[in-house]
A and B are shown apart, each in its own frame.
Chain A
Amino acid sequence: MHKYILKRLLMMIPVLVGITFIIFFILNLTPGDPALIILGSEATDETVAQLREELGLDDPLLLQYGRYMLNLMRGDLGHSYLNDRAIFPSIMERLPITLSLAFLSLLIAVVVAIPLGILSATKQYSLLDSASMILCLIGVSIPNFWLALLLILLFSVKLSLLPSGGLNHGLVSYILPAITLATSGAASMARQTRSSMLEVIRQDYIRTARAKGVRKNKVLIRHALKNAIMPVITLMGLTLGRNFGGAVVVESIFTLPGTGRLLLEGIRSKDIPMVMGCVVILSILISIANLLVDIVYGFVDPRLKAEYK
């Protein structure tokens, strides 16, 4: 198992290098002179030229990229154009909020989706099945920012039950944002659980299990679910990845001081190193999420376990 994890970790590296490469070059297409942004429009030409020299902005792009990567490996993500604070610590102090949001959403999604999917599959064609599948269809079609607004309208404005933003209420502050993020993931996971279960229930080994006298519920969980869960686990990884992306919007709406919002502010103020830093960190997180998914696979499917012994 350890070899498997190590191998996947090593494979992550070229992917991350590729990602940083692409992002670096895209961001360097941004119009505007960074030195000018830092110094402000009143700066003289000399000071601008001097700063450009200091920051190495006139060097060929590949060289700049190389320099960036070397610094990255030392944990130095540069300094913000805006306020000259070191980027890495800035991101790190906000990261726990984004992580909490992403994982809480995933948890809510899984807890809701899997039982719903199983119930729909066992009671196929019933009212429950039709109703929940319609809900899921709407769930994948609804934009998360609109859902956020509707939730705020209902729970904050009309009912005054939940906060509409900020972290002032501790864990409760995470409720609406997490539900917002969880919705589309839950919807697609419920659908996938249902269709996987439907397929698995028809398999011969389920019939064998029943012919052994195994109780119906136990058949569902021990025999059926374990086989059906694989594609759902893939979706979980995908959902976690999308949560990191969706966090940008959700943190913005609910004014949560997370990494996503940092990214957005960086874009608005053309703070390239900040944008670069946030994207790099988020990409690393997403790759780790995918790795986690692969590890879970290994535990669930013995055929894979054997391969990677």
Chain B
Amino acid sequence: MSEPASKLKKYKKRSQAAEVWRRFRRNKAAILGLIIFSCILLVSIFADVLVDYETKVKEQNFMNRMAPPSWEHPFGTDEFGRDILGRVIHGSRLSLAVGLGSVVISLLIGGALGAIAGFYGGRLDNLIMRMVDIFMAIPSTIMAITIMAALGASTFNLMLAIGISFIPTYARIMRSSVIGLRNTEFVEAAKAIGAKNSTIILTEILPNCLAPILVQVTMSFAFGVLNVSTLSFIGLGISPPTPEWGNMLSTAREYLRDAPHMCFFPGMAIVLTILSLNLLGDGLRDALDPKLKQ
């Protein structure tokens, strides 16, 4: 009659996931976000296939500079005659890559700090959370700018700079989830069996923290895309001629009067990416809602 506790837990988790998906599916805005973001993701993965780098992105054609949108160049051309559509497509790779990288860094470091602080409590908890509070006091833009100023421009540095500013958020989420779960029965059971603390954290606690973390991942991904384009815009991120939405807008600024179309499309790309991620995140949060109340 009674199944072993772990099997029951896994069974419950599986049907929990199905339940969450069902709720997510009913939210039209969230589905829209999912579709848009998937398209952007696919476009960036297959960028090379869609748009040949050499001809479309790098090739300059001074005869056709700053041409408004046409059949041949649906997004128009830039100040060097390059096709903007191709550059926007290729630019997606950097934005998404840095966004993803920054999330991974924040999640790993912040999550580890939060889990340790929450699990062990006491002075260690205090120490870690104090440091986290101090980091939180610095606005992310300024923090990112400072780090980029110090380390210099490179894709990895960008991921680091943006990722560091989100460490406090992940640490807090992880910590409160862990504290909530620390005294549950299955943790006590694991301890009774004699499992090591690290094992307990990894196998019992972490899987149950997934919900709020997942929501935060979409949100900080969106922020990451925003920050990398902001940094590139002010010249601290990816510099031209590498196509990146932010630096494309920076150049477009100089030609605002003569070629207004140049600033439109890269900006739309940023907005669409962030918007779809926000919709996804809101949808996830609503679908996971009762779970989040843990």
CB contact list, B194-229 vs A, under 8 A: 222, 226, 229
CB contact list, A113-160 vs B, under 8 A: 137-138, 140-146, 149-150, 152-153, 157
Q: How far is the CA of A30 from the CA of B271 in the complex (A)?
A: 33
Q: In the bound complex, do residue B142 and residue A245 qualify as a contact, i.e. CB atoms below 8 Å apart?
A: yes
Q: In the bound complex, do residue B141 and residue A267 qualify as a contact, i.e. CB atoms below 8 Å apart?
A: no
Of A31, A157, A249, which is within 8 A of B260 by CB?
A157
Q: In the bound complex, do residue A149 and residue B256 qualify as a contact, i.e. CB atoms below 8 Å apart?
A: yes
Of A29, A143, A290, which is within 8 A of B150 by CB?
A29
B193 partner residues in chain A, CB cutoff 8 A: none
Of B135, B257, B267, B278, which is within 8 A of A157 by CB?
B257
Q: In the bound complex, do residue B145 and residue A143 qualify as a contact, i.e. CB atoms below 8 Å apart?
A: no
Q: In the bound complex, do residue A153 and residue B233 qualify as a contact, i.e. CB atoms below 8 Å apart?
A: no
Q: How far is the CA of A28 from the CA of B276 in the complex (A)?
A: 38
Interface size class of B (residues with CB under 8 A): 35 or more
B138 partner residues in chain A, CB cutoff 8 A: 19, 22-23, 279, 283
CB contact list, B249-294 vs A, under 8 A: 249, 252-253, 256-257, 260, 263, 267, 270-271, 274-275, 278-279
Q: In the bound complex, do residue A157 and residue B230 qualify as a contact, i.e. CB atoms below 8 Å apart?
A: no
Query: Is A174 close to B, CB under 8 A?
Result: no
Q: How far is the CA of A146 from the CA of B253 in the complex (A)?
A: 9
Query: Is A286 close to B, CB under 8 A?
Result: yes
Q: How far is the CA of A282 from the CA of B141 in the complex (A)?
A: 12
Q: How far is the CB of A50 from chain B (nearest CB, A)?
A: 26
A264 partner residues in chain B, CB cutoff 8 A: 145, 234
Q: In the bound complex, do residue A141 and residue B256 qualify as a contact, i.e. CB atoms below 8 Å apart?
A: no
Q: How far is the CA of A251 from the CA of B102 in the complex (A)?
A: 27
A26 partner residues in chain B, CB cutoff 8 A: 146-147, 150
Query: Is B152 close to A, CB under 8 A?
Result: yes
CB contact list, A153-183 vs B, under 8 A: 153, 157
A31 partner residues in chain B, CB cutoff 8 A: 152
Query: Is A268 close to B, CB under 8 A?
Result: yes
Q: In the bound complex, do residue B271 and residue A245 qualify as a contact, i.e. CB atoms below 8 Å apart?
A: no
Known: A245-B142, A249-B230. A146 touches B150 (CB 8 A): no
Q: In the bound complex, do residue A279 and residue B146 qualify as a contact, i.e. CB atoms below 8 Å apart?
A: yes
Q: How far is the CB of A15 from chain B (nearest CB, A)?
A: 5
Q: In the bound complex, do residue B253 and residue A149 qualify as a contact, i.e. CB atoms below 8 Å apart?
A: yes
B151 partner residues in chain A, CB cutoff 8 A: 29-30
Known: A19-B137, A248-B145, A249-B230. A138 touches B263 (CB 8 A): no
Q: In the bound complex, do residue A143 and residue B275 qualify as a contact, i.e. CB atoms below 8 Å apart?
A: no
Q: In the bound complex, do residue B139 and residue A22 qualify as a contact, i.e. CB atoms below 8 Å apart?
A: no
Q: How far is the CB of A276 from chain B (nearest CB, A)?
A: 9
Render A189-203 as a binary contact track against B, CB cut-off 8 A, 1 for contact: 000000000000000
B131 partner residues in chain A, CB cutoff 8 A: 18
Q: How far is the CA of A268 from the CA of B234 in the complex (A)?
A: 10
Of A141, A144, A267, which is within 8 A of B278 by CB?
A141
Of B137, B145, B234, B271, which is within 8 A of A146 by CB?
B271
Query: Is A244 close to B, CB under 8 A?
Result: yes
Query: Is A27 close to B, CB under 8 A?
Result: yes
Q: How far is the CA of A138 from the CA of B273 in the complex (A)?
A: 11
Q: In the bound complex, do residue B145 and residue A244 qualify as a contact, i.e. CB atoms below 8 Å apart?
A: no
B222 partner residues in chain A, CB cutoff 8 A: 141
Q: In the bound complex, do residue A149 and residue B263 qualify as a contact, i.e. CB atoms below 8 Å apart?
A: yes
Query: Is A252 close to B, CB under 8 A?
Result: yes
B257 partner residues in chain A, CB cutoff 8 A: 157
Of B133, B149, B229, B256, which is within 8 A of A275 by CB?
B149
A27 partner residues in chain B, CB cutoff 8 A: 146, 149-150
Query: Is A242 close to B, CB under 8 A?
Result: yes
Q: In the bound complex, do residue A149 and residue B267 qualify as a contact, i.e. CB atoms below 8 Å apart?
A: yes
CB contact list, B221-246 vs A, under 8 A: 222, 226, 229-230, 233-236, 246
Of B133, B141, B149, B230, which is within 8 A of A30 by CB?
B149
Query: Which residues of B line the A interface, CB within 8 A?
Result: 130-131, 133-135, 137-142, 145-152, 222, 226, 229-230, 233-236, 246, 249, 252-253, 256-257, 260, 263, 267, 270-271, 274-275, 278-279
10 smallest beta-carbon distances between A and B, as pairs: A18-B134, A245-B141, A146-B267, A245-B139, A141-B275, A141-B274, A267-B149, A30-B150, A29-B150, A149-B263
